[in-house]
Amino acid sequence: MKNERLEIALLGLVADHRRAIKPGYQYDKYFPKALGTETMLTHDGTVNDTIKAMDKIVNETLIDTRKIAPLLQGKTVS
């Protein structure tokens, strides 16, 4: 585990301190419960396969995004 964290840290992807993140339970009602623990794993997948899978997932969950987007919209674009 320590070596994995070191490798990730070298990529600049690990925070240098623990963040205090609120649970966000108030938003649970806007998202359906997960129906399982399905994970897609393949050793011969390509970048194009990943992009196709992401496109499919986005389209399948777009209605959930539309429900919550107005609640998360700020007063500015930055």
How far separated are the first and last CA of the chain, in Å rounded? 36
5 Cβ contact partners less than 8 Å away, ≥ 6 residues apart:
14
Distance CA(35)–CA(42), nearest Å, equals 21
The pLDDT score that the predictor gives to residue 58 is 86
Q: What's the pLDDT at 11?
A: 58
Cα(49)–Cα(44) distance, integer angstroms: 9
| pLDDT < 70 stretches in the chain | 1-14, 35-42, 78
Residue 46 pLDDT: 84
pLDDT of residue 38: 65
Helices (H), the chain: 2-10, 47-72
